[in-house]
Amino acid sequence: MSSLDGMMPFRTVREEYDHLEETGALRADAAQRAIVDALDALLGEISTKRLATKSSALGWLFGKRRKTHEPVKGIYLYGSVGRGKTMLMDLFFQRLPVKRKRRAHFNDFMADVHDRIQRHREAVKLGETKENDPIPPVARALAKEAWVLCFDEFTVTDIADAMVLSRLFSALFAEGVVLIATSNVAPRNLYRDGLNRQLFLPFIDILERNVAVMTLDGPTDYRREKLDQIPVYMSPLGPETDARMDQAWQTVLDGRSEHADTIALKGREISVPRANGTAARFSFADLCEKPHGARDYLAIASRFDTLFVDHIPVMGQERRNEAKRFILLVDTLYDQQMRLVASAAVAPEELYRGTVGTEAFEFERTASRLTEMQSRDWLERVRQRALSPSEG
């Protein structure tokens, strides 16, 4: 978006939202408008605090009158997928009148936190610091870099994250950090059924004291509308198909950044090369040339609801092991009712050309399922499953 002398063409979220509505870039949505007003109110509070903390005499007097030492409560916005949470937060972030601000996917932020904690522990071992507890210095450094944090896809699935969140955010809020976050679940459902969840519960209390919890739900799932327009099985392989897969992936990302991820499973890790939120992207080689089994595929299906698989080749007798894994993968995705977006050398019924062994017979079922997973009926079943997820 263009700017003039550092100013946004639209100063408030409401002005930009109205413009997008007038130009047809989005549809009027009463639920979104309520959030827009709350975000503009928060912008006003942050602007007041920023002015009051300036070093000028006028700023000091203004700050004293406005009691700027009182903390600014952020916003925790949750609701079903595709309702526009990320879009609204981005409009807000673009208008934040502060230099020290940060917008990040929550998983990326926590990976950074753990890296900082590890570096601090190494500094303690080397005698470079006498501060044994890494949380306070890490929180101070984070707050110094950004006193307004915007998190997309706030979710807690990792026990390592769960165990540090209470102390970390207690320290961040004490430093005056303001949090704005989007999530698919209410705060009370974060880390639900997680290991040692009772140790995580204090964080929920801390979070609810420092943010206004708001929900955004409405009749229209805008992301799903976009997803329904993308092809889900593309062939033959080549630059054009790769470009179409990339375009479909960008539609799923919906403006978010991607990152590498891992899934812990029975003392080992499954590497996820590209992920964001509930979507992951692998190559056929990642999934079927490595020694993965049913438990691995189920773990992937439990973490994500949309899976991209690039470069599915033609398989013959020489690739029986890969074919077996691919059969197992498709069976798992089918049973879990996942959305599969794939690029392949040929149509599903031509993918396996071996004639000996059980793979040829079993692959008939795989081809049939791959065809069904492209149908409108299948995609509607996937949609309904996504619209009514469990709260876990």
DSSP 241-263: HHHHHHHHHHHHHTTPPPEEEEE
| Assigned domain for 81 exists | yes
For residues 389 and 156, which has the higher predicted lDDT (pLDDT)? 156
Verify that 271 and 383 share a domain, yes or no. yes
Residue partners of 370: CB distance under 8 A and separation at least 6: 233, 330, 340, 342, 348
pLDDT more than 70, % of the chain = 86
Helices (H), 159-200: 159-174
Rounded Cα gap, residues 325 and 321, in angstroms? 6
Mean pLDDT value of segment 162-188 = 91
Verify that 191 and 293 share a domain, yes or no. no
Verify that 243 and 167 share a domain, yes or no. no
- Number of other residues whose CB lies within 10 A of the CB of residue 321: 13
Residue 80: pLDDT band (50, 70, 90) is confident
**62 pLDDT more than 50:** no
| Assigned domain for 319 exists | yes
Rounded Cα gap, residues 127 and 136, in angstroms? 18
Verify that 72 and 175 share a domain, yes or no. yes
Q: Which of 215, 249, 268 is the last residue of a domain?
A: 215
- Which among 157, 165, 151 is positioned nearest to 191, based on CA atoms? 157
Mean pLDDT over each residue of the chain, to the nearest integer: 84
* pLDDT of amino acid 296: 92
* pLDDT of amino acid 329: 95
| Amino acid in position 41 | A
Specify which residues 66 forms β-bridges with: none
Which residues in 20-172 belong to E strands, given as ranges? 74-78, 101-105, 148-152
Q: Is the pTM of this model over 0.85?
A: no
| Assigned domain for 3 exists | no
**55 pLDDT more than 80:** no
* pLDDT of amino acid 282: 97
The contacts found for 358-363 with CB under 8 angstroms, 24 or more apart, are: 359/320, 359/323, 359/324, 359/327, 362/327, 363/323, 363/327
What pLDDT digit, counting tens, does each position of 156-174 carry?
877 888 889 999 999 999 9
| Assigned domain for 5 exists | no
Residue 119: pLDDT band (50, 70, 90) is very high
Verify that 209 and 247 share a domain, yes or no. no
Six-digit token string for 39: 């975000």
Specify which residues 352 forms β-bridges with: 315
Rounded Cα gap, residues 79 and 214, in angstroms? 9
Residue 380: pLDDT band (50, 70, 90) is confident
Rounded Cα gap, residues 219 and 59, in angstroms? 45
pLDDT more than 90, % of the chain = 42
Mean pLDDT value of segment 76-94 = 85
Mean pLDDT value of segment 31-55 = 83
Q: What's the structural domain count of the chain?
A: 2
Residue 342: pLDDT band (50, 70, 90) is very high
Verify that 91 and 125 share a domain, yes or no. yes
| Assigned domain for 2 exists | no
Domain of residue 368, CATH code: 3.40.50
Mean pLDDT value of segment 346-353 = 93
Verify that 174 and 209 share a domain, yes or no. yes
| Assigned domain for 264 exists | yes
E strand or H helix that includes residue 178: strand 178-183
| Assigned domain for 173 exists | yes
SS3 164: helix
Verify that 137 and 241 share a domain, yes or no. no
For residues 363 and 219, which has the higher predicted lDDT (pLDDT)? 363
Top-ranked range on mean pLDDT: pick from 17-26, 233-242, 348-357? 233-242
What pLDDT digit, counting tens, does each position of 123-158 carry?
999 889 888 999 999 999 999 999 999 988 788 877
* pLDDT of amino acid 157: 78
Residue partners of 252: CB distance under 8 A and separation at least 6: 227, 230, 276, 279, 306, 308, 341
Give the CA distances from residue 217 to residues 55, 106, 188, 383, in Å, rounded to whole numbers and listed in that order.
Answer: 42, 21, 17, 16
**5 pLDDT more than 70:** no
Top-ranked range on mean pLDDT: pick from 103-107, 209-213, 387-391? 209-213
Residue partners of 345: CB distance under 8 A and separation at least 6: 235, 236, 237, 312, 313, 314, 351
| Assigned domain for 307 exists | yes
Q: Which of 167, 200, 215 is the last residue of a domain?
A: 215
Verify that 81 and 158 share a domain, yes or no. yes
Verify that 238 and 267 share a domain, yes or no. yes
Verify that 244 and 365 share a domain, yes or no. yes
**117 pLDDT more than 50:** yes
Domain extent at residue 352: 222-387
Verify that 208 and 296 share a domain, yes or no. no
Residue 82: pLDDT band (50, 70, 90) is low
Residue 79 main-chain phi, psi, to 5 deg? 165, 175
Residue 6: pLDDT band (50, 70, 90) is very low
Q: Which of 168, 191, 215 is the last residue of a domain?
A: 215
* pLDDT of amino acid 101: 94
Domain of residue 189, CATH code: 3.40.50.300
* pLDDT of amino acid 69: 58
